[in-house]
Copies of this chain bind each other. A is one copy, B any other.
Amino acid sequence: MADTSRSPQPRYGARPTMKDVAARAGVGLKTVSRVVNGEPGVTPDTERRVREAITGLGFRRNDSARVLRKGRTASVGLVLEDLADPFYAPLNRAVEEVARDHGALLINGSSAEDPEREQELALAFCARRVDGLLIIPAGRDHRYLEPEIAAGIATVFVDRPAGLIDADAVLSDSMGGAREGVAHLIAHGHRRIAFVGDQPRIHTASERLRGYRTAMAEAGLPVDESWVSLGPTAPEHVRAEVDRVLSGPEPVTAVFAGNNRVTVTAVRVLAERPHPVALVGFDDLELADLLGITVIAQDAARLGRTAAEQLFRRLEGATEAPRQTVLPTRLVARGSGELPPRPGA
């Protein structure tokens, strides 16, 4: 059996440390640290010996230890609703890009619209001592974050504002966007318009409903409460609700869909109908241009980018009062929202 005691080799499961590197290179621990971190004050010859030891041992700095000592983790946490949702995925990516530009890693997780899970994730990120936190909130009470924020974890809310605490937030203009979309339908002759949206405890859902009511009121149109549907966005539920508002003696002639999932199902249901029904959806969809779906588009990537930039501004020391940023939406007319009411309807 070969004697390997003079120059330690990497063993399975046991990682070499700076101490091992120092021993192998015949230098002090601090010298290794200097080389690894590119600090000055090391002669080229010493540096070479250290680098050889690093390569020979397969050393990689343990950032856990570094974090413990330095206090900063160079990582940010993002809690969103669903990593797989086509609306949030670009937002996620935009946050990642900004984090990368600042040398930070991104930890993320899906709340699945469950306030408990949101809290669980956010606090787990805090326990990992992320430098900052971006949250698309599911819950309406964020006082659980007060100790974390007080302890210095920068926090920015995205897409929906914080509940019961004062914090930075970056939002889309849900109310204004919905109002514009509904006004667009009214301008094309509709008087009976349905609103099918997400659960009312979700801020964006209630804001969009408010936009709907505002547009109707501004046009002097009454709202029959049977036209309004707020609930889960599972396809079966949306399908039943769209069918419902299109039935009865006085069916609606147009539908305003409160988010991307509702729009997707609404398009499917309307495609099966014998007569065309006008539709405007909140959030854009891939291929919506080919299907001629009129939408109120939000820029999800910009939402994420803006929020992440605000986060890093805080991390760099910005101390103004919490601010709310509202980004505009954009009406994209593609046909479905310009259909007139069916004659006689």
A341 to B267, CA, bound (A): 30
Within 8 Å by CB of A96, from B94, B110, B152, lies B110
* In the A-B complex, the 5 residue pairs with the closest CB atoms: A58-B147, A84-B93, A89-B89, A13-B152, A84-B90
Binds B, one of A45-53, A126-134, A209-217: A126-134
Q: Does A219 interact with chain B (Cβ within 8 Å)?
A: no
Residues of B within 8 A of A85 (CB): 89
On whether the beta carbons of A291 and B286 are closer than 8 Å, the reply is no
On whether the beta carbons of A83 and B93 are closer than 8 Å, the reply is yes
Residues of B within 8 A of A165 (CB): none
Q: Does A240 interact with chain B (Cβ within 8 Å)?
A: no
Q: Does A242 interact with chain B (Cβ within 8 Å)?
A: no
How far, in Å, is A142 (CB) from chain B's closest CB?
Answer: 15
CB-CB under 8 A for A73 and B84, given A96-B110, A290-B267: no
Q: Does A285 interact with chain B (Cβ within 8 Å)?
A: yes
B-contacting residues, A86-122, CB 8 Å? 86, 89-90, 92-94, 96, 100, 105-110
How far, in Å, is A245 (CB) from chain B's closest CB?
Answer: 20
On whether the beta carbons of A73 and B83 are closer than 8 Å, the reply is no
Binds B, one of A60-68, A166-174, A192-200, A246-254: A60-68
Q: Does A243 interact with chain B (Cβ within 8 Å)?
A: no
Which of under 10, 10 to 19, 20 to 34, or 35 or more describes the interface residues of A? 35 or more
Q: List 15 A-B contacts (CB under 8 A).
A: A13-B151, A15-B151, A58-B151, A60-B127, A60-B147, A64-B67, A83-B83, A85-B89, A89-B92, A105-B128, A106-B107, A267-B287, A267-B290, A285-B286, A291-B291
A60 to B108, CA, bound (A): 19
Within 8 Å by CB of A109, from B12, B58, B106, B109, lies B106
Most buried by B among A85, A94, A109: A109
A108 to B85, CA, bound (A): 16
Q: Does A187 interact with chain B (Cβ within 8 Å)?
A: no
How far, in Å, is A336 (CB) from chain B's closest CB?
Answer: 12
Q: Does A234 interact with chain B (Cβ within 8 Å)?
A: no
Least CB separation from A62: chain B residue? B129
On whether the beta carbons of B68 and A10 are closer than 8 Å, the reply is no
Most buried by B among A61, A83, A152, A290: A83
Mark A54-77 against chain B: 1 for CB-CB distance below 8 A, else 0: 000010111111011000010100
On whether the beta carbons of B286 and A151 are closer than 8 Å, the reply is no
On whether the beta carbons of A108 and B110 are closer than 8 Å, the reply is no
On whether the beta carbons of A109 and B89 are closer than 8 Å, the reply is no
Least CB separation from A107: chain B residue? B107
Least CB separation from A300: chain B residue? B84
Residues of B within 8 A of A152 (CB): 12-13, 15
CB-CB under 8 A for A110 and B93, given A64-B68, A86-B86, A152-B13: yes
